[in-house]
Amino acid sequence: MKLIYSDPKTGLSASMELDDDRKAALLNRKIGDEIDASIFGLTGYKVRITGGSDSSGFPLEPSMQGQLKRKTLRERKKKSTGERVYKRVTVRGNMISNDTNQVSVAITEYGSKPVEEIFPKKEKKEEAGKEAK
């Protein structure tokens, strides 16, 4: 399972791959739950689950209870004509299960370690190529 955590203040994000022990801490949690992030190596931080997707790429839907896939009817209005358009979409429930492949979380409480250490800045490939020459 992949965990993508982001900082809403700076807009930075990073990802990590979770092993089975850390993955077990997320199972049966729902979108919107707030958890302690020390199990992911972020001591002192708290994160809120904001979304995710399953192994087939279907998103987790906050309004759908449970872990199953369901087809829902979505309504949308066209801007140009005001016409209503309905579309059938497959989504998964809001609970994290073994079928969940990716989970997105946002930092809600900050710890003692600065955010810059958690989100290391990556060099651009062009800049790295110029320095090598």
- On whether the CB atoms of residues 102 and 69 are closer than 8 A, the answer is no
Per-residue confidence (pLDDT) for residue 115, from 0 to 100:
75
Q: In angstroms, rounded to a whole number, what is the distance separating the alpha carbons of residues 62 and 2?
A: 19
From the CB of residue 45, how many other CB atoms can be counted at a distance below 10 Å? 23
Per-residue confidence (pLDDT) for residue 92, from 0 to 100:
92
Of the candidates 37, 35, 2, 6, the residue with the CA atom closest to the CA atom of residue 16: 2
Per-residue confidence (pLDDT) for residue 20, from 0 to 100:
87
pTM score of the predicted model: 0.79
Tokens standing for residue 65: 């209870």
Tokens 């002192």 sit at which residue?
44
Give how many domains the chain has, as a whole number: 1
Per-residue confidence (pLDDT) for residue 111, from 0 to 100:
85
Within a domain: 66? no
Within a domain: 76? no
Domain enclosing residue 113, as ranges: 2-60+96-132
Q: Tell me the pLDDT tens digit for each residue of 78-117.
A: 888 888 889 999 999 999 999 999 999 999 998 888 777 7
Within a domain: 86? no
Within a domain: 9? yes
Q: What is the residue-averaged pLDDT of the chain? A: 85
Q: What number is the average pLDDT over the span 12-37?
A: 89
Within a domain: 75? no
Q: Which residues pair with 3 in a beta bridge?
A: 16, 103
- Backbone angle region of 85, left / alpha / beta, with phi > 0 → left and psi within -120 to 50 → alpha: beta
Q: Tell me the pLDDT tens digit for each residue of 117-130.
A: 777 666 666 655 55
